[in-house]
C-alpha cells in the first residue's frame, strides 16, 4: 500500500494505525460487510495485526459476524477499548446500541459518530484497520473518504449491471477525493451446485472484468455465491476463521495478498 503525503499528514492523528483500508460498495446487499470481515481475517492469517471498524452505522453487522455483543470498556468515560474477537480488534456502533434499535440520525450526526468511533478507540498497534463503509456514495461516504486517512479502497460489487453501475460511482468517488483504489472484488460471481457440480452465473458474468478494464483497476478476485459463506458469517465465525483450509478461505487469502 502506497501512501500519499496528504494521507501521511492525516495519519498523524492515528499513530497506532499503519494502513487504513476502506471496503465500499455502491449498492447495499452485495456482500460488502462479509468481504470486509473475511479480508480482515485473511490479513490476520498472514500474520498482520488487524482491526475492523464497522462504519455501516445504519446497519451494523460486524458484531453479529464476529459473534460478540460485548460492550466496550472505557478507561476515562470518553474513549473506548476495542472489542477483541477472532484475533481482531473491533469497534462498531452495534456494540453501543441494541441490535433492534434503529439509528435515526441525519448525515452530519452519523459522520460525527463515526469519526468518534475511529478516533476515540484505543487501537493497539495495527498494521491494518479495515473499515466497513456504509453502502452508497452519499454525503456520509464522501465526508468519510475525505476525513479518514484511507491508504486504499476496495470496491465490492456483484456481476449484475445494476450493482456495477453503482460500483462505478464508488470508484469515481474515491478518485475524486484522491483515495488510491486497490481494486475491485466481484462477489456472488457464480454458484456451484453442491449436489451436481453445475455452475450457474446467477447475477450475470464478466461484469467485474469489464469494469476493471474500463476503469483500469485491478480485479482482486471473484467470490462464489456459497451457502457456507452466509451460514458461517451468520454463525459469528466468518469463513476464513471457521474453515481456514477451505477453498473459499483460500480465495479471501489470495485477495488479501493481492490487495
Contact positions vs ligand ADP (CB under 6 A): 25, 28-34, 61, 135, 187-188, 223, 225-226, 229-230, 233
Phi, psi of 10 (to 5 degrees): -70, -30
Q: Which residue is nearest to ligand ADP (CB)?
A: 31
Q: How far is the CB of 133 from ligand ADP (least distance, A)?
A: 9
Q: Is 59 annotated as a binding residue?
A: no
What is the smallest separation between the CB atom of 2 and ligand ADP, expressed in angstroms? Answer: 27
The answer to whether the beta carbons of residues 1 and 149 sit under 8 Å apart is no
102: Cα separation from own chain's centroid: 21
When the beta carbons of 61 and 121 are compared against ligand ADP, the nearer one is 61
The grid cell for 219 is: 480485479
- Smallest separation, CB 38 to ligand ADP (Å): 9
Would you say 65 or 118 has its CB closer to ligand ADP?
65
Burial string for 11-21 (b: 16+ CB within 10 Å, else e) reads: beebeebbbbb
Please state the closest distance from residue 56 (CB atom) to ligand ADP, in A.
6
Instruction: Return the number of the residue (18 or 168) whose C-beta is nearest ligand ADP.
Output: 168
Residue indicated by cell numbers 448525515: 107
204 in a known ligand binding site: no
Nearer Cβ to ligand ADP, position 41 or 226? Answer: 226
Burial 157-186 (b: 16+ CB within 10 A, else e): bbbbeebbebbbebbebbeebebebbbbbb
d(CA 10, CA 154): 20
Please give the annotated binding residues, written as ranges.
26-33
Please give the annotated binding residues for ATP, written as ranges.
26-33
Amino acid at each position: 500500500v502506497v501512501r500519499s503525503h496528504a494521507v501521511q499528514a492525516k495519519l498523524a492523528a492515528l499513530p497506532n494505525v499503519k494502513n487504513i483500508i476502506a471496503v465500499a460498495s455502491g449498492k447495499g446487499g452485495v456482500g460488502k460487510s462479509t468481504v470486509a470481515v473475511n479480508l480482515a481475517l485473511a490479513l490476520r492469517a498472514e500474520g498482520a495485526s488487524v482491526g475492523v471498524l464497522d462504519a455501516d452505522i445504519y446497519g451494523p453487522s460486524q458484531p453479529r459476524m464476529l459473534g460478540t455483543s460485548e460492550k466496550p470498556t472505557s478507561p476515562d468515560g470518553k474513549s473506548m477499548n476495542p472489542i477483541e474477537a477472532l484475533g481482531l480488534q473491533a469497534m462498531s456502533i452495534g456494540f453501543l446500541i441494541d441490535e433492534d434499535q434503529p439509528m435515526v440520525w441525519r448525515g452530519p450526526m452519523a459522520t460525527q459518530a463515526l469519526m468518534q468511533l475511529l478516533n476515540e478507540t484505543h487501537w493497539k498497534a495495527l498494521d491494518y484497520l479495515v473499515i466497513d463503509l456504509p453502502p452508497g456514495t452519499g454525503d456520509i461516504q464522501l465526508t468519510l473518504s475525505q476525513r479518514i486517512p484511507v491508504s486504499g479502497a476496495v470496491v465490492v460489487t456483484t456481476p449484475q449491471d445494476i450493482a456495477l453501475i453503482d460500483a462505478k460511482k464508488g470508484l469515481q468517488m474515491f478518485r475524486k477525493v484522491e483515495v488510491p483504489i486497490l481494486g475491485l472484488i466481484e462477489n456472488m460471481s457464480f454458484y456451484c451446485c453442491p449436489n451436481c457440480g453445475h455452475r450457474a452465473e446467477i447475477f450475470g458474468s464478466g461484469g467485474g472484468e469489464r469494469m476493471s478494464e474500463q476503469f483500469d483497476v485491478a480485479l482482486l478476485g471473484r467470490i462464489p455465491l456459497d451457502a457456507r459463506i452466509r451460514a458461517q458469517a451468520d454463525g459469528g465465525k466468518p469463513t476464513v476463521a471457521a474453515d481456514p483450509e477451505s477453498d473459499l478461505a483460500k480465495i479471501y487469502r489470495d485477495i488479501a495478498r493481492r490487495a
